[in-house]
Amino acid sequence: MTMQSRTRRDFLKGTALALGGAIVGLSEVSCVASSAPVVRVAIESNILRVETARPELFNVGDGIQLNAPELEYPILLIKTSESKFVALSTACMHLGCTVKKQPSVIRCPCHGSVYDLEGNVLNGPTQLPLHQYSLTMSGTQAVIVVD
């Protein structure tokens, strides 16, 4: 075996390993990708108002991710019944990673905690539900108190 062939083999082996790692990495990302459309919002005097009569919140189980510069973590606004919405922090109660909404659950990409769409724990390691913000409805507008 020549030095050149060993070098080529090492290069190919290294490339294959790198590609394999990249594919695994991509599949992990896609497994925890958020299905919640992002909506930029403004907070005034700790109150956040969001119109719920929108196509992204048409079906029970739909949700949107609310982003505002003042928020350390985005808020998930989720339609949990025809007339009820919840506003949940995206801060995982295990170690604080940002959770992602999926069609029927909320999943943490860091250590695998799973919450239902009302923020209750379905699977650890977390022991605590997601923080739920106070939310009232004013017509079709959700009024969320950001504390």
Residue 108 touching ligand FES (CB under 6 A):
yes
- Give the span between the Cα atoms of 101 and 138, in whole angstroms: 25
Q: Which stretch binds ligand FES (CB under 6 A): 38-46, 73-81, 106-114, 115-123?
A: 106-114
126 touches ligand FES by CB under 6 A: yes
Q: Does 114 bind ligand FES (CB under 6 A)?
A: no
Residues 6+ positions from 40 with CB-CB distance below 8 Å: 67, 68
By C-beta, is 79 or 94 nearer to ligand FES? 94
Residue 128 makes contact with ligand FES by CB under 6 A: no
95 scored as a contact of ligand FES (CB under 6 A): yes
Of 13, 18, 111, 134, which one interacts with ligand FES (CB under 6 A)? 111
- Residue 81, helix vs strand vs coil: strand
Q: Going by C-beta distance under 8 Å and a sequence separation of 6 or more, which residues neighbour residue 74?
A: 38, 65, 66, 67, 90, 98
Q: How far apart are CA 58 and CA 19, in angstroms?
A: 40
Shortest reach from residue 107's CB to ligand FES, in Å: 9
Give the interface with ligand FES as residue ranges (CB under 6 A). Answer: 92, 94-97, 108, 110-113, 125-126
